[in-house]
Amino acid sequence: MADYPPTLDHVEKTFGDAYRKEIDQEENVWRTLPFFAATLALQLAALFQIVERLPGRLTAAWWVAITCETVTGVSTVVALGFLALSIYPAKFRYIAAEPELLTYAKGLLQDEEQYGDWRPGDPFNALAALKWTLALQYADATHHNRMINQRRAKWRSVAGLATLASVIATLALVVTIALTYIPKSH
């Protein structure tokens, strides 16, 4: 049985799992880009189909169409801006490289051997020291990386809302144009 606090294994495992989760979240930024690209492509296709069918100038339908086009344009620019922020490079923190950890672990073992045969209650335990070091590195890197991921998630959310506004404005524009060309019966 190990002679270090029983919670140390749990802390190291929990922090290690959280660390891996935050590293995986970095990839999620890139997984969302095809959704935004497809949405923008569909909007552009719709806009190109109706651009030549705008209602007569200075009519009520024309004002609605121009407002919808403006909202679509501004929302799209906002969405693209926040998407750019969400993929802007950020420096993630990582635990020490494997060769460095191996060298550190060997040094800890040498320190432990200086105490002679290790027995429970001895003042130094190489395994416990290594676990504490890893837990500290996991905690520091996880916290830093989580801040980056949360910021990116917020920016993607704003980009998503702006894309939604753009889609709604495009739909309103399509409806406005369609209603303009539907014959009115008296």
Q: Can you read off the two tokens belonging to residue 92?
A: 């993630």
pLDDT in tens, 18-58: 999 998 887 777 788 888 889 989 888 888 888 888 888 88
- What lies within 8 Å, CB to CB, of 26 at 6+ separation is 92, 145, 148, 149
Residue 51: per-residue pLDDT:
80
Mean pLDDT of 67-72: 94
Q: How confident is the model at residue 2 (pLDDT cuts 50, 70, 90)?
A: low
Give residue for tokens 């926040």: 82
User: How does the average pLDDT of the chain come out, rounded?
Assistant: 88
Query: Residues 46, 49, 51, CA angle at the centre, nearest 5°?
Result: 100
Q: Can you read off the two tokens belonging to residue 151?
A: 């910021």
pTM of the model: 0.76
Q: How many CB atoms lie within 10 A of CB 121?
A: 7
The Cα–Cα gap between 26 and 145 comes to 9
